[in-house]
Amino acid sequence: MSSANSANFDAIVVGSGITGGWVAKELCERGHKVLVIERGRHLDHPSQEYTDGQAPWELEYRGLVPDYLAENDRYEMFRRKRHIYRNEHRQFFVDDAEYPYSYPKDRPFMWTRGYQLGGRSITWARQCYRWSQQDFDANRKDGHGVPWPIGYDDLAQWYDRVEGFAGVSGNSDGLDSVPDGNFIKPWAMSCAEEFVAANLRKTRPDRRMIIGRCANLTEPTEAATAVGRGVCQARARCSSGCAYGAYFSSLSATLPAARKTGNLSVETDQIVQSLIYDETSGKVSGVRTIGAKDKRQQTFTGKMVFLNAGSLNSVHILLNSRSERYPNGLANSSDKLGRYIMDHFGGAGASGDVPGFDDRYAFGRRPVGIYVPNYRHEQKEDADFLRGFGFQGSAQQRTSDRPKENAKGIGNAFWQGGRQGANWRMTLFMYGEMLPYAENRATLHASKTDQFGIPLLHIDCEGRQNEKKMRSQGSKDAVDILTAGGCENIREIAPDPDAFIMLGERTHEMGGACMGEDPKASVVNGWCQSHDIPNLFISDGAVMSSCGTQNPSLTYMALSARAAHYAADLLQEGAI
């Protein structure tokens, strides 16, 4: 076979993460020659960079984040979320000082990126919830954002396909807000969670608490075994990389499946600067890249291009792909490219003691918590906001369940006499749905460029009054749920009602190339195909026209699998 930069591929897929892997797998399995381009370094699976097999004393800084890494505009997610991110995960995340971006000083945005083969599929939280029809109807119903051109029925079979290959654990809960799926054996609730969930079924049946659904293998499946994945060991070391391949990632699952076909080529350390657009044919013919290590410029050509670089990176590439016909960014005749940037937001919740289980303990470290799906779409009697929210959390044995300072006594008397409350405490964190605002947008910085000469992406995005009202209600609802669930000593997590809502902290950034029926109001159609350029597809989070309340990755994957099959049909018909 000829070298990659001189070969003409059936498809070029930009990005190797959770959506790029799916596009590559589906196209390769349909018999098409596919080139995946990743701007980050090559990783094998399992990788020497995985630290899931190391003890804390074997890790630099015992795995903790040293202060200097969270200073001087480096690793903003370490500075803001040290309770989640650790130094042992650092190799899978981008140093903001090396790859800067821009935002207004009074409206910060936390953009968490992972530049390596596999992208952020190596570090995602693996929560998998289907959207419901009410989520697809929301924009059309309340008039905010661009109406979705598709509905739940359009995605149902693709949810089935994605869940079956990825291995998604869950119960059949019979809830319209999060439709049941093609599940493997669920993880079990703890005794304390069962207690709260059972009480809610009696006292507030409208607010269901279920075990979370996640892409960690609870049992072997044929599809997982075929690519060498193993069963989850419940070690809670997922963000360190998993040598077992027990959680779904493109590195352990979709890319190996694509490679087995013999149709996959991969180029790493290649930063896509822009797409190559032919003014005469009205199509794209490939991509221009800059070597991440040597800054050497190359071109790669193909019959069609899929952008799966991550929502904001895909938008960034299109904005920088200016031409005579599209001076404000490729495929941007609608002037909607870069608009409607969204993210879930939090800042509200509550915690409370769960009584009666002081003699119980947990075994293992389950990779998923509980979930309270959105009920606010239908419950508006006490709400002065649009859309809704859900809650995620868990009941944990208290790590602070130790004697108080200066406690008196010896042995058991010392321990029991100084205890600080019940053995189990449940915490709920709100995940709110922000409205799509055209003013929340990403643009090219007017003067600043990165080390490769590419204009920085400037992100101007914030939560507004609707989101602030929702956040205030969310903390009250969390207290109500824990009260109805039988918890005690409840503490509300309630910020200042007027406090700024920073976006990006949930790492669910989406929008910027929204999907819609009207070419004048959207960027792609219902098949993730550009309205302007027939052989250009975008199927990552950029195409989301609203953000729902559910973790979005399962929907991204279903959209990508569906778009890849549609594109394969067009290729076979000679339409592109």
Assign 82 a pLDDT band (cuts: 50, 70, 90).
low
| Cβ proximity of 312 and 111 under 8 Å | yes
Q: What is the pLDDT of residue 1?
A: 34
530 Cβ neighbours under 8 A, 6+ residues apart? 331, 523, 524, 536, 537, 538
Given a cut of 70, whether residue 112 has pLDDT beyond it is yes
What secondary structure letter does DSSP report for 252?
Answer: I
Dump pLDDT digits (tens) for 35-69: 999 999 999 999 999 998 888 888 888 888 777 77
Tracing tokens 């119980």 back to the chain, one arrives at 360
413 Cβ neighbours under 8 A, 6+ residues apart? none
513 Cβ neighbours under 8 A, 6+ residues apart? 307, 314, 315, 318, 331, 336, 337, 523, 524, 538, 542, 543
Mean per-residue pLDDT over the chain, rounded:
92
| Cβ proximity of 430 and 395 under 8 Å | no
Given a cut of 70, whether residue 124 has pLDDT beyond it is yes
How close are the terminal C-alpha atoms of the chain, in Å? 23
Minimal CA–CA distance to 99: which of 397, 375, 451?
451
Q: What is the pLDDT of residue 416?
A: 56
Range from 270-274, 278-282, 394-398 carrying the lowest mean pLDDT = 394-398
| pTM more than 0.85 | yes
Q: What is the pLDDT of residue 62?
A: 82
Minimal CA–CA distance to 510: which of 556, 471, 470, 557?
556
Mean pLDDT of 179-203: 97
Q: What is the pLDDT of residue 61?
A: 83
For 161-189, letters b (16+ CB in 10 Å) and e give: bbbbbbbbbbbebebebbbebbbbebbeb
Give CA–CA dist 207/33, Å, rounded.
48
Given a cut of 90, whether residue 419 has pLDDT beyond it is no
Dump pLDDT digits (tens) for 545-557: 999 999 999 999 9
Assign 380 a pLDDT band (cuts: 50, 70, 90).
low
| Cβ proximity of 531 and 525 under 8 Å | yes
Coil, strand or helix at 374: coil
